[in-house]
């Protein structure tokens, strides 16, 4: 999925984009993390073992399907899954500046050496190009070529079977699903199992439970609009991280609600 700013995302969800949002969430995290969850159940220690195992096994099965799709889709264009992931990442973060090798490695949770090998392969295919930073010639940035951008958009398309499957979920089930994914990812981030992602509940603009209405309880100060649970983003291009000192409190309010008498403020709750 190409970059969609948070303002456009509100309309995106209202016009059926929530299915693609859910698939995007699954694709970003299932393949990378749920095999560990299947083995260790480390992010669900408070749940009965049988339930935790069922959830982990189910997520791992979804991860297998997504992995198969990635191999199949990439193979049609002569790309390995890692190469497709780099293309999609560069397209999603494309703002003219490109990305450094270290950032690519961190975003995809791979070693710098693996990132360099993958980028070199894409460069030989004419899909990416390296260039020196305009302000600091010591920094090398990677960006898509025109052909690479076209291929990245194709690689980011989701199979109809997944959109159809997610369409079987009710709006309430979709909201619960998104909230559950956000909580799992936050837990994995906190234990340093995955890179930090640009989620709404960790953003300085996010106001959890700022509105009394049940349907859209949260608020985004960036676009000055209420948010439903299903509107929460896992990778927002306009994300600005909340202060480290505010983050635990911000998260607690998101999970448990604001204590009586408290109101939302920048980066947390007043």
Quick one: pLDDT at residue 251? Answer: 92
Quick one: pLDDT at residue 257? Answer: 85
Higher pLDDT, 227 or 35: 227
90-136 pLDDT, tens digit per residue, is 988 776 678 999 989 988 888 999 999 999 999 999 999 999 888 88
| Residue 171: DSSP 8-state | H
CA distance 218 to 10: 13
> Per mean pLDDT, which range of 37-46, 124-133, 165-174 is the poorest?
37-46
Max distance between CA atoms of the chain, in angstroms, equals 60
Domains and CATH numbers, the chain: 6-70+159-269 (no CATH), 83-155 (1.10.10.10)
Contacts of 61 (CB under 8 A, 6+ apart): none
C-alpha atoms less than 13 angstroms from C-alpha of 97 in its C-beta half-sphere = 10
CA distance 50 to 55: 9
DSSP secondary structure letters along 58-75? HHHHHHHHHHHHHHHHHH
Question: Residues, the chain, total?
Answer: 270
Note whether 219 and 207 are within 8 A (CB): yes
Going by C-alpha positions, the residue among 238, 181, 178 that lies closest to residue 206 is 238
188-239 pLDDT, tens digit per residue, is 888 887 777 889 999 999 999 999 877 889 999 999 999 998 899 988 888 9
Instruction: Give the pairing type, strands 128-132 and 140-144.
Output: antiparallel
CA distance 265 to 205: 9
64-91 pLDDT, tens digit per residue, is 887 777 777 777 778 888 898 899 889 8
């Amino acid at each position: 999925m190409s970059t969609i700013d948070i303002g456009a995302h509100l309309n995106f969800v209202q016009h059926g984009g929530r299915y693609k949002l859910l698939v995007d969430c699954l694709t970003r995290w299932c393949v990378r993390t749920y095999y560990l969850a299947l083995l260790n159940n480390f992010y669900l220690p408070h749940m009965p073992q049988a339930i935790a195992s069922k959830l982990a096994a189910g997520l791992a099965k979804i991860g297998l399907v997504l992995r198969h799709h990635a191999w199949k889709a990439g193979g049609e264009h002569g790309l390995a899954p890692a190469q497709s992931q780099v293309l999609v990442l560069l397209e999603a973060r494309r703002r003219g500046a490109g990305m450094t090798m270290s950032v690519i490695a961190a975003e995809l949770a791979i070693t710098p050496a693996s990132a360099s090998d993958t980028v070199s392969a894409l460069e030989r295919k004419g899909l990416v190009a390296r260039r020196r930073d305009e302000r600091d010639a010591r920094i090398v940035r990677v960006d898509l070529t025109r052909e690479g951008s076209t291929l990245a958009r194709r690689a980011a398309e989701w199979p109809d079977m997944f959109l159809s499957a997610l369409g079987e979920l009710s709006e309430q089930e979709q909201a619960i699903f998104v909230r559950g994914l956000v909580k799992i990812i936050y837990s994995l981030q906190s234990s340093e199992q995955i890179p930090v992602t640009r989620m709404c509940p960790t953003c300085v603009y996010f106001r959890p439970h700022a509105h009394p209405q049940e349907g859209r309880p949260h608020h985004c100060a960036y676009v000055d609009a209420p948010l439903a649970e299903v509107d929460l983003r896992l990778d927002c291009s306009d994300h600005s991280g909340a202060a480290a000192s505010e983050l635990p409190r911000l998260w607690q309010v998101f999970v448990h609600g604001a204590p009586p008498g408290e109101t939302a403020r920048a980066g947390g709750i007043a």
